[in-house]
Amino acid sequence: MPELKRIDAHQHYWRISRGDYDWMTHDMSSIRRDYLPGDLVPTLLRHNFYGSIAVQAAATYEETNFLIDLAASDSTILGVVGWIDPYDGQWLTRIEAYRRIPKWRGYRLMVEYTENTYSLLEGTSKELLMYSSLENIPIDILVRCDQLSFLLDVIDRFPNLRIILDHMGKPTMQPRDFARWAEYIKVIASNENVYVKISGMVTEAKKTYGYYAPDLNFHQYIDHVVDVFGLSRIVFGSDWPVCLLATSYSEVVGIIERYVQSRMVMSSWEGLWGTNAAEFYGLQWGG
């Protein structure tokens, strides 16, 4: 592999005692402990990452502020993707305050955990999306594969939104579901304002099969997003420490390295490993 300064565009930090990680169920006990920069930085450096994007893992302003405080004292946190409550009547005041913080790099819309997804296209949430579109604010969107039709509706109503799709839309990794997922992804990718994170596959595979194995057909999924998004709108994300439920950080990186070695020419690597993330989030690229 050539020497590149890479960006991990999707990872999390948390401190359990803060008390707002209710999504961690009993089967996630192995990651129900503190994960802070000191736990990740040695691994980042070992794999030639010079920094990462810390993404919110709790739907609270307190957690977003916790990440911003971490970022202020750690140079490897290149940006923070926080949380904005789409039903908060004070969203504008909050987002304007966050925009004054240099490392705040947008927010994540947690569609996966929204009971009535179409409520996100109404009222204050509609206003938030309209404002984000006009102001070119980066938005991470977390959806399950069975919610991709909703994402198409979001894109149809707000075609200028700057969106990055987390975890490739969370395909089930079941062969029988591939074609339907692939068709949705193809249509989503037709909007050039949408990027995609090649991330989360190992966790979804573990969820579906109950185990992780290196010979699972991840390349089929990567091939498809590369084909439809092109080389300029794909980014790497580890989803650490959630990925540890299935396998190691090194193996997550290894999946992509093996793919790159088998599919791409050398000149294609830079976008996937960093420049595309820097472009999407408005970072100063140090590669």
Mean pLDDT of 125-129: 98
Give the C-alpha separation, 178 to 150, whole Å. Answer: 18
**pLDDT (0 to 100) of residue 125:** 98
What secondary structure does DSSP assign to 238-276, as a single string?
--BTGGGGTS-HHHHHHHHHHHHHHH--GGGHHIIIIIH
The predicted model gives 231-251 an average pLDDT of 97
- % of the chain beyond a pLDDT of 70: 96
CA-nearest of 101, 103, 114, 104 to 75 is 103
Q: Which two tokens stand for residue 8?
A: 């991990």
Give the chain's radius of gyration (CA, Å): 18
* pLDDT for res 264: 63
User: Three-state DSSP class for 113?
Assistant: helix
Among 16-30, 114-128, 164-178, which stretch is predicted with the lowest mean pLDDT? 16-30
What is residue 162's DSSP assignment? Answer: E
Q: Residues 200, 234: contact at Cβ < 8 Å?
A: no
Sign of CA dihedral 175, 181, 186, 191: negative
> What per-residue confidence (pLDDT) applies to 1?
42
> Quick check: 169 pLDDT over 60?
yes
Mean pLDDT value across residues 79-93:
97
Tokens 């970072």, located at residue: 283
pLDDT at 2 exceeding the cut of 50: no
Residue 167: its H or E element = none
Contact between residue 197 and residue 233 where contact means Cβ atoms under 8 Å apart: no
Torsions phi, psi for 123 (to 5 deg): 55, -135
Instruction: Evaluate whether 246 touches 212 at the Cβ level (below 8 Å).
Output: yes
pLDDT (tens digit, 9 = 90+) per residue, 171-226? 999 999 999 999 999 999 999 999 999 999 999 999 998 888 776 789 999 999 99
pLDDT at 266: 58
What are 88-97's pLDDT values in tens digits? 999 999 999 9
Percent with pLDDT over 90 in the chain: 86
- The chain-wide mean pLDDT, for the chain, equals 94
User: Rounded to the nearest 10 degrees, how much is the dihedral formed by the CA atoms of 36, 40, 42, 44?
Assistant: -140
Residue identified by tokens 């969370």 is 170
Phi, psi of 243 (to 5 degrees): -60, -25
Q: What are phi and psi of 86, to 5 degrees?
A: -70, -10
CA–CA dist 208, 139 (Å, integer): 28
The dihedral region occupied by 128, where left means phi > 0, alpha psi between -120 and 50, and beta the remainder, is alpha
pLDDT in tens, 251-281: 999 999 999 988 766 567 889 999 999 999 9
Q: pLDDT tens for residues 54-75?
A: 999 999 999 999 999 999 999 9
Instruction: Determine how many CB atoms are found less than 10 A away from the CB of residue 175.
Output: 9
Whole-model pTM? 0.95
C-alpha to C-alpha distance for 32 and 253, rounded to whole angstroms: 23
Label the pairing between strands 104-109 and 138-141.
parallel
Q: What is the pLDDT of residue 267?
A: 62
Average pLDDT score over residue span 110-118: 95
Mean pLDDT of 113-122: 95
pLDDT for the residue 216 = 77
* CATH code for the structural domain at 6-281: 3.20.20.140
Q: Which of 19-23, 81-85, 174-178, 276-280 has the lowest mean pLDDT?
A: 19-23
Full DSSP string of 177-244: GHHHHHHHHHHHHTSTTEEEEE--HHHHHHHHHSS--TTS-HHHHHHHHHHHH-TTSEEE---BTGGG
Q: For residue 136, give the 3-state DSSP assignment.
A: coil
* Mean pLDDT, range 4-33, rounded to an integer: 91
